[in-house]
Structure 1
Amino acid sequence: MNMDAPKEPKVDSTLSKGLSILENLVASQEGKGVTDLSKELGLTKSNTFRLLQTLVTLGYVQHLPDKTYSATLKTWRVGRASVENLNLRELAAPELSFLSQETGETVYLAVREGLSVVYIDKVDSQKPIRSWNAIGGTAPLHCVGTGKAILAADYDKLRDQIGPALTRHTDRTLTDPGALEADLGRTLKRGFAYDTGEFRDRILSFGAAITLPGGEPVGALGISLPDINMPEGGEERFGALVAHAARSVSAKLGSR
């Protein structure tokens, strides 16, 4: 017996079960009842009910009129605060500058909010014809480069939620779940997402996810441009540039 072997850290069983319930509700598009939660998580109904009551009292879960439970905005606020604490804007500023200099087009830093992306920083293009979105602007996950990059990195978690939300914005929008899943597979294989004018007509965008060491996406870098500005070989070049920049930011997160 090795007396010097490090001891496994103790995990509080009640806290672990409560967090598993919260994670399950956050990932669900609809409210869930005690029976469904207990079956999915392997808990007794009485234990599930007691934990839900605690989460309701603390403000992380709400009891809906149809007797189901769902996560509240307090959970969302905690998640957003965690993202803000990563100082993504500061960490990604050199990469945004790099992408701007290399492409001359509008570049963005975005994070996920529900089934949308929110642009939290950008560098504008100085070209006469350009793409434009305001800081604080939003777009659906499934039809812009930054959103598709985040979606591809977290698809197992978001699959059930995104299916019913595939709204059409142009004739190029991917509204079929199978077509979207195939596109996300290509995104993972090549390392960047490509929007061919799926949110706004004739506006192209590229995106690559910024991830934590475990692979969880916390944001994405993106390049956006009118199709008239796309140079020959631009898809491969812009895709490679944004993928390289996102890996650079991810490496910084991993070294913190």
Structure 2
Amino acid sequence: MTASVTSRALDVLGAFDGDHRSLTLSELARRAGLPLTTAHRLAGELCRWGALHRRATGEYVIGRRLWDLGLLAPVPTGLREAASPFLHDLYAATLATVHLAVADGAQALYVDRISGNATVPIVSKVGSRLPMHATGVGKVLLAHAEPDVLAAALGALTRITPYTVVRPDRLLEQLRRVRADGYATTAEEMSAGACSVAVPVRGPGGEVVAALGIVVPDLRRQQQRLVAALRVAAQGIGRTLPPAPPQAPAPA
């Protein structure tokens, strides 16, 4: 079946990710699986619309118009706005990097972040996705995920550092403790020198809609203090979240 113009344009946009934020035309064509001439034509059209931007060096990057559209996405509705003051309160109390993430398949999608003052290697960015099994917020989300999401994550346990958990039985035991204790921790599982602790954010119906986390160099002396601060902030976010919109009735 011949690919439609829309699907090929989406292939061009899908060529970008956290590790490929700027691409030459040849790189763009190769990653999108398109002939060079087709990639050039589509990139030009996307630049004129604002979905892409072509730098003076000739490289392409995602355009600001896509960012503007992305801010309209309900992830869930009102989450970033509700969470913002609590993220700032957490940062003021800890001076650590604060994360807010939601589940996106078997990955954690970072929807907001405040960078801390401590010299801790941070690999996340707003809009980036990281594997759930190697991050504090991800383990919280995975502990409350649907069975198909859990199965997908267990089937893709890649080792990122020497401390990344890649044994399914060990991860399942950690997730059981996350549900029992109400928080998750990591120790240099995503990047060397970075530890994290995270708690769930629950919506008005009690469902887990996000995870709130902090990244620090060491948890040994401050874990309980950070857990307490995170729980207060998560409860505050949950109380201010608007109710989920009613679901459309299924067709008869």
TM range (shorter): 0.5 to 0.7
1:89 corresponds in structure 2 to 80
Moved more, 246-255 or 147-156: 246-255
1:189 corresponds in structure 2 to 180
How many aligned residue pairs are there?
172
1:125 aligns with 2:116: yes
1:137 corresponds in structure 2 to 128
1:198 aligns with 2:186: no
Q: Which digits, 9 at most, give the CA deviation of each residue in 1:139-188, with x for residues without a partner?
A: 10111011101111225452222211111111211111111111111112
Q: Equivalent pairs: percent with the same residue?
A: 33
Q: State the shift of 1:119 in Å.
A: 1.4
1:245 aligns with 2:237: no
Distance 2:74 2:197 in 1: 26
Distance 2:186 2:98 in 1: 14
SS in 1 for 2:109: strand
User: Normalising to structure 1: TM-score of the pair?
Assistant: 0.61
1:103 aligns with 2:91: no
Distance 1:111 1:131 in 2: 21
SS in 1 for 2:189: coil
- The answer to whether the 8 Å contact 2:103/2:109 transfers is yes
- The answer to whether the 8 Å contact 1:192/1:242 transfers is no
Distance 1:148 1:170 in 2: 16
Distance 1:209-1:238 versus aligned 2 partners, 3 A rule: same
Q: State the shift of 1:93 in Å.
A: 0.8
SS in 1 for 2:241: helix
Matched AA of 1:239: V
Unaligned runs of 5+ in 2: 1-71, 245-252
Distance 1:102 1:155 in 2: 34
Distance 1:184 1:170 in 2: 19
2:247 corresponds in structure 1 to none
Matched AA of 2:75: V
1:115 aligns with 2:106: yes
Considering only aligned residues, what root-mean-square deviation do their CA atoms show, in Å?
Answer: 2.1
- The answer to whether the 8 Å contact 1:193/1:239 transfers is no
- The answer to whether the 8 Å contact 2:99/2:112 transfers is yes
Distance 1:199-1:153 versus aligned 2 partners, 3 A rule: same
Which structure shows the higher helix fraction? 1
Q: Which residue among 138, 162, 166 is the counterpart of 1:147?
A: 138
Distance 2:88 2:121 in 1: 17
Distance 1:155 1:196 in 2: 25
Distance 1:226 1:90 in 2: 28
1:226 corresponds in structure 2 to 217
Q: State the shift of 1:124 in Å.
A: 1.3
Distance 2:201 2:229 in 1: 14
Q: State the shift of 1:255 in Å.
A: 6.1
Matched AA of 2:231: A
Distance 2:163 2:205 in 1: 33
Q: State the shift of 1:199 in Å.
A: 1.1
1:159 aligns with 2:150: yes
User: Where does structure 1 differ by over 6 angstroms across 4 or more consecutive aligned residues?
Assistant: none
- The answer to whether the 8 Å contact 2:121/2:192 transfers is no
Distance 1:246 1:152 in 2: 17
Matched AA of 1:246: A
